[in-house]
Amino acid sequence: MRKTILGLTIMTGIAAATLLNAATARATSDAFVWKDAKYGYTFSFPDSWGIQTKETPDMRIRIAGPINADWATCSIQVKKDGRLQIYPKRLMTQAVDDTLNQTFWRRQVGEHDNAVIRDYVAPASLGGRGDATAIKETFEQNTGNGKINMFGEQIASIYGNMRYVASCSARIDQYDKYAPLFSSILASVQLSPRYAPFATGYYRDFLSDGQVSLPRTKPGTINPKSSYPVSQR
């Protein structure tokens, strides 16, 4: 069964159940499959999680787990970034590695208080299509009643002319409980196709055709030369 409410699609089935095997809040076979109406990508999360108010102009969605004290959240930011459009797909892995490097991530984690990058991974992949890099970090979260220590992971990709940053985090003492679910949520991101699936585009691979020989006696024909009579003198 599929039902759409305000751009949010609720789907049930094997895929949803697989995603929720890692959920810690409650046993259920339902998941939200959210599609960004503007950019076309989708991602999934447990139906026990709620959508919260966006924090920045580039944030498309932010979700939070059902246990408030754990401060478990995930989000996706999307921003136009056409710097790598000059590269063919075969060179994008290296181009993304060079662009979304550790310098980029030091700026990115500046959104968090006292952030420290604990691990850096390159190359990585977002949604099976987007070449990416990824990090793990620790930082402090201001709860309004003091600060708590957090642990999180982020993955960023430049795909087509857009930059995607997906992230998940939780209290540092609760992170291990959420780590499998975070991995499932981040892995569920599916980017809208932007590249032709074959090196020659959608055309037949004519470059592999055999050599064509045209007759010299009557140019423009497709018959072999031997089929034309030759005057004997």
DSSP state of 164: E
- CA 215/CA 221 separation, integer angstroms: 7
**The length of the chain, given as a count of residues:** 233
Q: Is the pLDDT confidence value at 212 over 80?
A: no
Q: Looking at residue 71, what is its pLDDT? A: 97
Is-contact 163 81, C-beta < 8 A?
Answer: yes
Q: At 179, is the secondary structure helix, strand, or coil?
A: helix
Is-contact 139 113, C-beta < 8 A?
Answer: yes
pLDDT band at 7; cut points 50, 70, 90 = very low
pLDDT in tens, 163-208: 999 999 999 999 999 999 999 999 999 998 877 555 555 456 666 7
Q: Looking at residue 55, what is its pLDDT? A: 82
CA 1 to chain centre: 26
pLDDT in tens, 80-124: 999 999 998 889 999 999 999 999 999 999 999 999 999 999 999
Q: Is the pLDDT confidence value at 10 over 80?
A: no
- Burial class for 144, CB neighbours closer than 10 Å (0-12, 13-18, 19+): exposed
Q: Looking at residue 227, what is its pLDDT? A: 52
pTM assigned to the model: 0.73
Burial pattern 179-208, b for ≥16 Cβ within 10 A else e, equals eebbebbbbbbbbeeeeeeeeeeeeeeeee
Is-contact 45 25, C-beta < 8 A?
Answer: no
Q: Which CATH code of 3.40.1000.10, 3.30.450.40, 3.40.50.300, 3.40.50.740 fits the domain covering 50-187?
A: 3.40.1000.10
pLDDT band at 30; cut points 50, 70, 90 = confident
Mean pLDDT of the chain: 82
